[in-house]
């Protein structure tokens, strides 16, 4: 995969995007329509405009989404570099914002196309189209910040050096100002800026050099300071990402002349702190500026320390002077050789380790390893003493006697043990009874269990003494009292709340209540007797005039007659088998709005002719 971010097209600003989209719609869709033409054509005209705008926007936004690298898909070196430079969260948020806008535009277009289907005039179509395009443009306008950010990112990405994280590469690192960039300038055709102050190099630089007829990538990193990773700035973090993710030969530069402003022990300290990044990578300790101070002139203590490091990390050591180009090429050659052998080693190792790492499952040892065969005691005794423990032949011997295996099988009954009577063994027994397997119900302890149950029952019966009538009555009375009291409390509280609805009572119930209060209920019957009857019988119907206070006069007679008639009708209607009158339409009508009104009889009046009467041959939708 080629990591060349130069091919990302420029991201337009929100304003430009809106302009291009709208003008494209104007250019690529028909522009003339008249109110006289068919309404269907008008609708189509505007729907086309809305759909076209939507697809243009989708195309534009989709292109942005597609061209920008996805952090999860690219090499971790680049993912980390992007995180360091542009902040991963911000980057993802911006792309997510654009993706969301894309779907929003889609839903807006869908809604408005749906509404356009019901447009009944040119004016309505036009206004709907205008609203739709307006809303889409508003969505784009809100993208403005994300688009600007992405354009900045794009510009920066294009300027990043095209580092291939997979090829042979050499990374140069060390304190600032130790001669890293000068070394790269000497070794490669790159022309990195070299200045006598710290942090001249603020980003990664790449140069290429040829050794052994193949190109090698040399990566120059900004200088590192010795401090914890949280405190490192963006410039340093770029170096760290390169060191962490690229499998390369690492050249750690140590300036023994101390002209860079850092002492040798400080530089050694830095090496120690970043050293975890160098594990499993070929390493070289490069002593620079030997023209200013020779290795022999260095404090022997430091010399020893550096030597120790070299030995510990299996590194090579090289002495260079960028000033007079002494030892530069040798250093490069050494580094390349080192990396080459390392890479070959890794390749061969991969093959060999693969063979060794074939899946191999170790068999767990049994917890109890000794499992001797089980020999019954009787057999041991028999073997020792020669006395047979049991009488008669064993089943095995019997089998041999009867003709051996295959001819004679030992009957399963022979294995039955501990029956009360040994003769029962040979009883004929069905295997299945009433569709159930008998052996499922066999329980050797069933009799014992039955006995236990019976005993328990007996104990319970002994404990129970039946109550006599008086006791029953007393209990009943108390119970009744409790019930009545509870009911009264309930009613009182309901009355207090105002939710009490007196229940209709039978006359007998009321009488009983009166009796309890000590009032003579005999007069009650005369007072309420007639009125409380629910179903008027024919005799009572004639009595109506007795209790109805009907005014005497011309009208009175008529009313009486009507009442009589009505009562008669009621009586007739309530007789079993009497025909019930059909409910009127008024009764069937349900209160509700026009749309929810139910057609209970399923025979709407305005299309009655469709559903009433006999069906003719082949006539299903009319009669």
Partner 1 sequence: MRKLLKAHDGKEVNTTDKSAVPDGAVPGYLLDREGSNKTKILSNMVKQKRKEKAGKWAVPIPKVKPLTDQEMYQVVKTGKRKRKMWKRMINKACFVGENFVRKPPKFERYIRPTGMRFTKAHVTHPELNTTFYLDIIGVKKNPQSSLYTSLGVITKGAVIEVNVADLGLVTQGGKVVWGKYAQVTNNPENDGCINAVLLV
Q: Which residues bind partner 1 (CB under 8 A)?
A: 111-112, 114-115, 117-118, 120, 123-124, 127-128, 131-132, 135, 593-596, 598-599, 604, 606-607, 621-622
Query: CB of residue 45 vs partner 1: minimum separation in angstroms?
Result: 17
Handedness of CA 390, 391, 395, 401 (dihedral sign): positive
Handedness of CA 379, 381, 385, 391 (dihedral sign): negative
Handedness of CA 585, 589, 594, 598 (dihedral sign): negative
Query: CB of residue 110 vs partner 1: minimum separation in angstroms?
Result: 10
Q: Residue 62 or 134: which CB sits closer to partner 1?
A: 134
Within 13 Å and on the Cβ side, how many CA atoms surround 275?
15
Beta strands across the sheet bearing 316-319: 205-211, 214-220, 169-174, 249-255, 283-288, 316-319
Helix (H) or strand (E) holding 285: strand 283-288
Q: Residue 522 or 596: which CB sits closer to partner 1?
A: 596
Query: CB of residue 621 vs partner 1: minimum separation in angstroms?
Result: 7
Q: Residue 92 or 124: which CB sits closer to partner 1?
A: 124
Beta strands in 97-255 (DSSP E): 169-174, 205-211, 214-220, 249-255
Q: Residue 551 or 621: which CB sits closer to partner 1?
A: 621
Distance CA 337, CA 605 (A): 101
Who contacts 535 (Cβ-Cβ below 8 Å, separation ≥6)?
A: 574
Query: CB of residue 112 vs partner 1: minimum separation in angstroms?
Result: 6
Query: CB of residue 148 vs partner 1: minimum separation in angstroms?
Result: 27
Query: CB of residue 181 vs partner 1: minimum separation in angstroms?
Result: 58
Distance CA 40, CA 561 (A): 70
Of the candidates 51, 39, 59, the one whose C-alpha atom is nearest the C-alpha of residue 133 is 51
Query: CB of residue 571 vs partner 1: minimum separation in angstroms?
Result: 40
First to last CA, the chain: 76
Q: Residue 109 or 315: which CB sits closer to partner 1?
A: 109
Is residue 57 within 8 A of residue 78, CB to CB? The reply is: no
Q: Residue 130 or 562: which CB sits closer to partner 1?
A: 130
3-class DSSP state for residue 521? coil
Q: Residue 478 or 610: which CB sits closer to partner 1?
A: 610
List residues bridging with 255 in a β-sheet: 288
Q: Residue 28 or 117: which CB sits closer to partner 1?
A: 117
Residue with tokens 């005209």: 45
Handedness of CA 422, 428, 434, 440 (dihedral sign): positive
Q: For the packed helices 300-312 and 264-274, what is the interaxial angle rounded to 10 degrees?
A: 20
Query: CB of residue 600 vs partner 1: minimum separation in angstroms?
Result: 12
Query: CB of residue 589 vs partner 1: minimum separation in angstroms?
Result: 14
Q: Residue 70 or 597: which CB sits closer to partner 1?
A: 597
List residues bridging with 209 in a β-sheet: 216
Q: Residue 112 or 175: which CB sits closer to partner 1?
A: 112
Query: CB of residue 103 vs partner 1: minimum separation in angstroms?
Result: 18
Compute the residue count for the chain.
623
3-class DSSP state for residue 428? coil
Of the candidates 252, 289, 280, the one whose C-alpha atom is nearest the C-alpha of residue 267 is 252
């Amino acid at each position: 995969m080629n990591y060349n971010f130069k091919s990302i097209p420029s991201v337009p600003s929100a304003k430009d995007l809106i302009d291009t989209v709208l003008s494209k719609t104007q250019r690529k869709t028909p522009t003339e329509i008249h109110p006289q033409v068919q309404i269907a054509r008008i609708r189509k005209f505007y729907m086309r405009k809305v759909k076209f705008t939507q697809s243009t926007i989708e195309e534009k936004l989709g292109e942005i989404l597609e061209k920008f690298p996805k952090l999860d898909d690219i090499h971790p070196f680049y993912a980390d570099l992007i995180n360091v430079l542009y902040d991963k969260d911000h980057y993802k948020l911006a792309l997510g914002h654009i993706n969301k806008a894309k779907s929003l535009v889609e839903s807006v277009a869908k809604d408005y196309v749906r509404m356009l289907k019901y447009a009944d005039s040119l004016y309505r179509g036009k206004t709907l189209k205008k609203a739709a395009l307006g809303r889409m443009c508003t969505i784009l306008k809100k993208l403005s910040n994300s688009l600007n950010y992405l354009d900045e990112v794009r510009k920066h990405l294009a300027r990043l050096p095209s580092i291939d994280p997979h090829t042979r590469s050499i990374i140069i690192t060390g304190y600032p100002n130790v001669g890293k960039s000068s070394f790269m300038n000497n070794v490669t055709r790159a022309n990195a800026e070299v200045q006598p102050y710290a942090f001249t190099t603020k980003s990664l630089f790449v140069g290429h050099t040829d050794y052994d007829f193949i190109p090698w990538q040399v990566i120059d990193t900004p200088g590192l300071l010795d401090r914890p990773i949280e405190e490192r700035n963006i410039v340093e973090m770029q170096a760290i990402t390169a060191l962490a993710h690229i499998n390369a030969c690492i050249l750690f530069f140590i300036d023994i002349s101390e002209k860079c402003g850092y002492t040798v022990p400080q530089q050694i300290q830095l090496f120690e702190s970043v050293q975890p990044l160098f594990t499993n990578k070929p390493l070289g300790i490069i002593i620079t500026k030997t023209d200013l101070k020779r290795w022999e002139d260095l404090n022997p203590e430091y010399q020893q320390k550096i030597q120790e490091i070299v030995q510990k990390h299996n590194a090579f050591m090289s002495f260079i002077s960028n000033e007079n180009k002494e030892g530069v090429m040798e250093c490069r050659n050494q580094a390349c050789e080192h990396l080459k052998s390392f890479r070959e080693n890794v390749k061969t190792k991969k093959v060999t380790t693969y063979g060794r790492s074939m899946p191999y499952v170790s068999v767990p040892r049994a917890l109890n390893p000794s499992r001797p065969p089980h020999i019954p005691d009787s057999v041991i005794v028999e073997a020792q003493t020669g006395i047979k423990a049991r009488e008669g032949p064993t089943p095995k011997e019997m089998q041999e006697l009867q003709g051996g295996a295959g001819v004679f099988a030992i009957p399963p009954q022979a294995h039955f043990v501990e029956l009360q009577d040994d003769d029962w063994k040979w009883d004929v027994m069905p295997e299945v009874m009433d569709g159930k397997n008998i052996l499922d119900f066999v329980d050797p302890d069933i009799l014992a269990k039955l006995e236990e149950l019976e005993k328990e029952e007996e104990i319970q019966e002994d404990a129970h003494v039946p109550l006599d009538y008086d006791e029953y009555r007393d209990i009943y009375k108390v119970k009744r009292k409790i019930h009545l009291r509870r009911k009264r409390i309930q009613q009182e509280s309901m009355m207090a709340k105002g939710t009490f609805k007196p229940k209709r009572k039978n006359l007998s119930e009321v009488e009983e209540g009166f009796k309890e209060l000590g009032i003579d209920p005999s007069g009650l019957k005369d007072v309420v007797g007639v009125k409380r009857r629910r179903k008027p019988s024919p005799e009572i119907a004639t009595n109506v005039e007795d209790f109805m206070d009907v005014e005497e006069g011309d009208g009175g007679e008529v009313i009486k007659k009507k009442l009589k008639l009505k009562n008669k009708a009621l009586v007739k209607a309530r007789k079993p088998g009497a025909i019930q009158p059909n409910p009127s339409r008024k009764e069937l009508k349900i209160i509700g709005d026009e749309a929810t009104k139910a057609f209970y009889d399923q025979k709407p009046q305005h299309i009655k002719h469709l559903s009433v009467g006999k069906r003719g041959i082949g006539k299903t939708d009319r009669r």
